[in-house]
Structure 1
Amino acid sequence: MGRHRTARGALAGVVFAVLFAQVLLYPGVPELVAALGGSGPLDAGRWFLGAEFAGFVLFAGAWGAVSDRAGRRGPFIAAGALGGAVGYLVLAGIPAVPFWAVVLVRFIQGAATIGAFSLAVAALMDLSGGSGRNMGAAGIAIGLGTGLGAPVGGQLYALGVRAPLVAAAGLLTVAGVAALKLDEQTDAGGGVDGHLLAVVRTVRDRPALSVPFAFGFADRFTAGFFALVGVAFFQARFGLDAGGTGLLLGAFFLPFALLQYPLGVLSDRVGRVGPVAVGSFAYGLVVVGVALAPTVTVAAIVMALVGAFGALCAPATLALVNDLAAADERGTATGGFNIVGSLGFLAGVVGGGGLAARFGFVDAFLLAGALEILLAVALLPALLRLDGDRVATFAGDQSGGD
């Protein structure tokens, strides 16, 4: 239906804005943290990137709980986006202060921003028309946001080291104002809290949710790994500046974006097991391949393969969460997935940075790829045991249109 299509597009726009603003910073993180008073691109970068995702982890459930109790999502999506905009603007104008104060502002900005992102995804989950289609819309918004954010951010750094912060603040302001006018189509207010204990209870009652949660953790681990270690590796290995690094990151994110929607729809037709298992295994292999690329051109080709296989498993994994959760627990399950994913990103930043500092870039890439491969192999039996009637295709039950 047209109304659902409009709501899907508006919510996907919010998701795009949040991710675009976030990834604008990534290509020049070493330069940015130095300008903000940090020392050491890996050490200061870990604190700067990790603080945002610590805010994600600690506050994703709180936003879900408040939204569920209020029975609305739109005003809270707007509040999260506008709060994040203020955080970015403070970082853009912050004077010479101890770096711990910068990290604190970054944490608060992350705590606000996760509200806009998580609740927009939860609202997409509530729409009819096929969970693969809805999660494909979320996925393409995520992919386009990150895919365009990296190259655009790289070019913005040429204007000034804090220019991406100003751009991020402006974009989130627009998203926040637009969210105030959302025509909500959600089922919020079902009485299910989105806090961490509720997530634990949901997984306890539906143990099968631990399978997509585990894949979500591993996928976001590699994302965090690329945000810090990948950027430092590309600049050290190939001598790239922020602009060149952004273009190389874009080689991953653009196919990741363009393939999300069609592969999400594919998972509605063929089921989730194949895309999740095959995509995750191949994803791990090509992550390892990035470290072995001898030239920038080869690295770009391998990064494009990383994006393609990531697009195969990402929407199917998130749709699997929706398939397994009860209708009145989707907000909680989505919040849990985002918490686990944020923990994965945080682990990728902190753990990946530690691995690279201790063992070197190549060994760190090998370990990151091996994690994804081992997880795909270890969880394949659990994937195959999932009830096909519950997790394969729901086209017959969701014929209400889009």
Structure 2
Amino acid sequence: MRIRSARFALATVVFAVLLAQVLLYPGIDTLVAALGAETALNASMWFLATEFAAFVLFAGVWGALSDAAGRRVPFIVAGALAGAVGYVLLAVLPQALRLPFVAVLGLRALQGAATIGAFSLSITMLMDLDGGHGRNMGAAGIAIGGGTALGAPLGGQLYELDPFAPLFAAAALLVVVGALAALVEDRAPSDRGGRLGAVRDTIRGTPEIVVPCAFGFVDRLTAGFFALVGTLYFRQAFALSPGQTGLMLALFFAPFALFQYPFGVLSDRIGRTIPVLAGSTLYGLAVIGVGFAPTVLMAGAAMVGVGVIGALMAPATMALVTDLAPDAERGVAMAAFNAFGSLGFLAGVLVGGTVADEVGYLAAFLTVGGLEVAVATLAIPAFLRLGLTDLDSRVPE
């Protein structure tokens, strides 16, 4: 399979995994109620947090196993099919067996542990391709943005049919992912250096990796925030239905998807520093702007701004991981990045949900947007001290 065809196939896999995941977001309070939860905000928070806690715990496991085996495809197929089973079990078992909500969270954890393998290793396979790291990560970014952009409105419409419809649709998508991934040629490095402690060892051996991982953490923190707090905020503040909420989320995800690839190519030309540092600062301010928007139209416009700015920084941040990681450790490097990102999503759900519950939605927007700006500001000395700005003059095209 040619590089371009492989890039398209792998981006399609990433797209489908994210589409399946985001289908659940627009009516998350409706879903947890159907699964037996007695509260909206707290139950939704733990339902989302459980999946991403599993992501954090198992991203490194999948990456290390893949590097050790010198292959990616079998693990992607296994993760996708196991994730499909997990989604079906979530839709069927709680009703059939009258499971308590804590048992539902256990099923959610198993589904998340499987799904992260398909997602993380698909991105890793994109890292294995030639053709420019920014271009490859731009393809990953547009797939992520496209999946989330379509998933939000589609999930909202599925909720209008049945609370469990998004779960069955997600399972079907992961079956397709497994079949498609099986057709892609493995290009994993032959040096089998992976092991379960490899994420820690990679960070020790290449400490610069911590910088893009920190940005991955805070960027995904805002994603987790919008998945929970943003969804419930739009529904309560503007009285939106699940379908309308899905369209509101799509105002962010659509431009986030459309501009990922060209901005990824741009970062190959101008380097990573400006997109990562300047983009993150503007991104945090735009998130705060959503919370201050007095009308649904202004909030929608602010969401578009968040999407465009997010598209500027996301592929450059992922490409920076590729620039820094040794070839034989790309799997664990991307696993580390995804683990930090998943931990950030988890933090966004927990921190955003807690602040919104205790203080209010505006305080939650200020907290999350302020964290993004703070990380960008604090990272400037690290970029200079570690010589990351020097990479800009030798970024591969």
TM-score between both structures, scaled by the size of structure 2: 0.97
Partner of 1:84: 83
Q: Which residue in the other structure is 2:14 paired with?
A: 15
Q: For residues 180 and 327 of structure 1, what CA distance do their matches in structure 2 show?
A: 23
* Equivalent residue pairs, number: 394
1:320 partner letter: L
Q: Quote the Cα distance in structure 2 between the aligned partners of 1:386 and 1:124.
A: 26
Q: Does 1:192 align with 2:193?
A: yes
Equivalent residue letter for 1:350: L
> Which consecutive unaligned segments of at least 5 residues does structure 1 have?
none
Can you give the 5+ residue segments of structure 2 that lack an aligned partner in the other structure?
A: none
Amino acid at match of 1:48: F
Tell me the distance in 2 between the aligned counterparts of 1:314 and 1:393: 20
Contact 2:67 2:329 in 1 (8 A): no
Q: TM-score, structure 1 length as denominator?
A: 0.95
**Equivalent in the alignment of 1:207:** 207
1:57 match: 56
Q: In structure 2, do the counterparts of structure 1 residues 101 and 257 end up closer, same or farther at CA, with 3 Å as the change threshold?
A: same
Pairwise CA distance, 1:282 = 0.3
Q: Is the 8 A contact 2:67 2:328 kept in 1?
A: no
Q: Which is worse superposed, 224-233 or 175-184?
A: 175-184
Moved more, 22-31 or 347-356: 347-356
Please name the residue that 2:36 is paired with.
Answer: 37
Aligned to 2:47: 48
Q: How many Å separate the matches in 2 of 1:326 and 1:216?
A: 19
CA distance in 1, matches of 2:146, 2:389: 32
8 Å CA contact retained: 2:56, 2:343: yes
Distance 1:127 1:34, change over 3 A: same
Distance in 2 (CA, whole Å) between partners of 1:384 and 1:311 is: 24
Instruction: Give deviations 1:9-34, integer Å, cap 9, x for gaps.
Output: 11111100100000000000001001
Q: Structure 1 residues 110 and 371 mapped into 2: Cα distance closer, same or farther (>3 Å)? A: same
Map of 1:185-264 to 2, 5 A cutoff? 185-187=187-189, 189-193=190-194, 195=196, 197-264=197-264
TM-aligned CA deviation for residue 191 of structure 1: 2.1
Paired position in structure 2 for 1:165: 167
> How far apart are residue 39 of structure 1 and its match?
1.9
Please report how far the alpha carbon of residue 348 of structure 1 lies from its aligned counterpart in structure 2 after TM superposition: 0.6
How far apart, CA to CA, are the structure 2 residues paired with 1:268 and 1:374? Answer: 26
Kindly state the Cα deviation for residue 232 of structure 1 after the two structures are TM-superposed: 0.7
- 1:156 corresponds, among 155, 158, 171, to 158
Q: Which aligned pairs between 1:281-300 and structure 2 lie closer than 5 A?
A: 281-300=281-300
- Distance in 1 (CA, whole Å) between partners of 2:266 and 2:142 is 14
* Aligned partner letter, 1:102: V
Give the superposition deviation at 1:230. 0.6
- Aligned-residue offset at 1:389: 7.8
Aligned to 2:185: 183
Task: Give the structure 2 partner of residue 26 of structure 1.
Answer: 25
**C-alpha contact (below 8 Å) 1:273/1:384 kept by paired residues:** no
Cα distance in 1 between the residues matched to 2:109 and 2:8: 29
SS of 1:59 mapped into structure 2: helix
Q: Which amino acid is 2:303 matched to?
A: M
Measure how far apart 1:378 and its partner are. Answer: 1.0
Match of 2:100 among 98, 101, 107: 98
Deviation string, structure 1 residues 237-258 (Cα, Å, up to 9, x no partner): 0000100100000000000000
- In the alignment, is the contact (CA less than 8 A) between 1:61 and 1:194 conserved in 2? no
Aligned residue identity for 1:291: G
Whether the aligned pair in 2 keeps the contact of 1:268 and 1:394 (CA below 8 Å) is no
Q: 1:301 to 1:255 in 2, by over 3 A?
A: same
Contact 2:60 2:335 in 1 (8 A): yes
CA contact (8 A) 1:194 1:335 kept: no
Listed one character per residue, the Cα deviations across residues 21-75 of structure 1 (whole Å, up to 9, x for unaligned) are 0000000000100100112111101111011111111111111122122221111
| Runs of 4+ deviating beyond 6 Å | none
What is the aligned partner in structure 2 of residue 313 from structure 1? 313
Structure 2 Cα separation of the partners of residues 344 and 102 of structure 1? 23
The SS at the match of 1:138 is helix
**Deviation for aligned residue 1:388:** 5.7
Tell me, what secondary structure is at the counterpart of 2:26?
helix
Asked if structure 1 preserves the Cα contact closer than 8 Å seen for 2:383 and 2:389, the reply is: no
Query: Letter of the aligned partner of 1:138 in structure 2?
Result: A
CA distance in 1: counterparts of 2:163 and 2:227, whole angstroms? 17
Equivalent-residue separation in structure 1 for 2:194 and 2:324 (angstroms): 18
Identical counterparts, % of pairs: 58
One-letter code aligned to 1:52: E
Report Cα offsets for 1:190-249 as digits up to 9, x if no partner.
222253x32222222222111111111000011001111111111110000100100000
Q: Which amino acid aligns with 2:172?
A: G
Q: What letter corresponds to residue 212 of structure 1 in structure 2?
A: P
Deviation digits for residues 106-158 of structure 1, max 9, x if unmatched? 00000000000011011100100000000000000000000100011001111
Number of the residue aligned with 1:114:
116
- Contact 2:217 2:342 survives alignment (8 Å): yes
CA distance in 2 between counterparts of 1:304 and 1:359 reads: 26
Contact 1:59–1:114 (Cα < 8 Å) also in 2: yes
**Quick one: which of 131, 146, 149 aligns to 1:147?**
149
- In 2, the alpha carbon distance for the partners of 1:116 and 1:110 equals 10
Separation in 2 of the partners of 1:369 and 1:383? 21
Shift of 1:391: 2.4
